[in-house]
Amino acid sequence: MTTSPSDDGCFFELNYLGKSSVHQQRSFMSAEVGSNVTLHCSYGTEAARYYWYKQSLGQKLQIISISYKFDKSGEFHDEFQDNPRFTVKTNDGKSQLNIFHLKPSDTGTYFCASGISFVFEFGEGVTVSVKNPVLENTSWIRQSESGTVQMGSSVTLNCTVQTGSCGGEHSVYWFRHSGESHPGLIYTHGGSSDQCGKSPNTQTHTCMYDLPIRNLNKSHAGTYYCAVISCGQVLFGNGTKLDVEGEAVSLSLVYFLSAALIFTIILSVLLAFTLHKMHKRNSCQTSVFCYQVHRVAGDLHYAAVNVNQLSRPRRHRKSTESECVYSAMTHTLN
């Protein structure tokens, strides 16, 4: 939760952290010049005011409209005021922003928000890319092919831009869109022209930009978009999808080896205990002699010899018994 001052000097809170109750349906839209788009937003909780904002690449948020609880059409501000290309309809916890006859300047990220008292909740935002078919033959942007990489390795994403005869400086932006989050700005070159070259035959300018990513992990997975602002127009790439694999296999291997080690230890202990019991039980079942020497009154001594026979079948057990041989020895004192 952060605070920001409003135009009248008061402060309001922006709910950027945590789970928001404001949701937008799509995260990226591509449309051609002259077409129409409709952006949708839903509000999980009832609010007093509903907002639409626009953020152009590298620029601050611009407020488009404010709709109050019982106002369905909305009140527009600044350059959007009295502009028939923009309309808003808010009803039953939902709001939609309509943009007609798209222009290249309409390219940007559009946010919806709700406000109760001084607490604001923002949606994830939807990025609209407006393409001009007339300029596609001379101006275009290409990105690296999508692919799968191993965890811990490194990769460099490429962005190649051709801007026709316009040789002005470029502002380059990289966005990432993962399954857990909407597109977010992760890197910008900002006014770079030292990586550009001009073709002597066609007088077109071609620029190349790289985004190195090292020590990859699961959090790097997603689709990376390259966007370039050049000569008054915004060019968006089609995106490079990056899949990172290896963690699941490694974890499975670790779990398997750990389980195998534990099983081996338990089995070894059980085997050792079993062998010990067997050895103790069979130690007196072999042919050994046990002597017991006793002393009685006087000088008479006798010894008992116990002969333990080997285990034999049941039919021989009756005829085989332990025998004790007693010997006596007397000693007469002189």
> In this predicted structure, what is the pLDDT of residue 203?
66
Cβ neighbourhood burial of 27 (10 Å; 0-12, 13-18, 19+): middle
> In this predicted structure, what is the pLDDT of residue 291?
46
> In this predicted structure, what is the pLDDT of residue 201?
67
Mean pLDDT (whole number) for 16-33:
74
Residue 19: alpha-carbon gap to chain centroid: 17
> In this predicted structure, what is the pLDDT of residue 293?
46
Which tokens belong to 158? 């490429």
Residue 25: alpha-carbon gap to chain centroid: 21
| Confidence at 76, pLDDT banded by 50, 70, 90 | very high
Q: Is the pLDDT of residue 72 over 70?
A: yes
- Could you say which architecture CATH assigns to the domain 135-245? Sandwich (2.60)
> In terms of Cα–Cα distance, which of 247, 243, 218 is closest to 147?
243
Instruction: Report the range of poorest mean pLDDT among 2-16, 176-190, 221-235.
Output: 2-16
Where in the chain are all domains bearing CATH 2.60.40.10? 23-131, 135-245
Q: Report the DSSP pairing between strands 301-307 and 324-329.
A: antiparallel
Q: Is the pLDDT of residue 276 over 50?
A: yes
Q: Is the pLDDT of residue 83 over 90?
A: yes
Mean pLDDT (whole number) for 272-279:
83
Which residues lie closer than 8 Å to 75 by C-beta, 6 or more apart?
Answer: 65, 66, 67, 68
First to last CA, the chain: 114
Q: Is the pLDDT of residue 283 over 70?
A: no
Q: Coil, strand, or helix at residue 252? A: helix
Mean pLDDT of the chain: 75
Higher per-residue pLDDT: 169 or 49: 49
In terms of average pLDDT, the best of 63-67, 183-187, 268-272 is 63-67
> In this predicted structure, what is the pLDDT of residue 111?
94
- Could you say which architecture CATH assigns to the domain 23-131? Sandwich (2.60)
Q: Kindly calculate the radius of gyration of the chain based on its CA atoms and give it in whole angstroms.
A: 43
Q: Which residue has the tokens 């909407």?
A: 182
Q: Report the DSSP pairing between strands 11-15 and 119-122.
A: parallel
| Confidence at 8, pLDDT banded by 50, 70, 90 | very low
Q: Is the pLDDT of residue 192 over 60?
A: no
Q: Is the pLDDT of residue 198 over 60?
A: yes
Q: Is the pLDDT of residue 200 over 80?
A: no
| Confidence at 279, pLDDT banded by 50, 70, 90 | confident
| Cβ atoms of 242 and 149 closer than 8 Å | yes
| Confidence at 20, pLDDT banded by 50, 70, 90 | low
Q: Whole-model pTM above 0.85?
A: no
- φ and ψ of 300, to 5 deg: -90, 130
Q: How far apart are CA 210 and CA 141, in angstroms?
A: 13
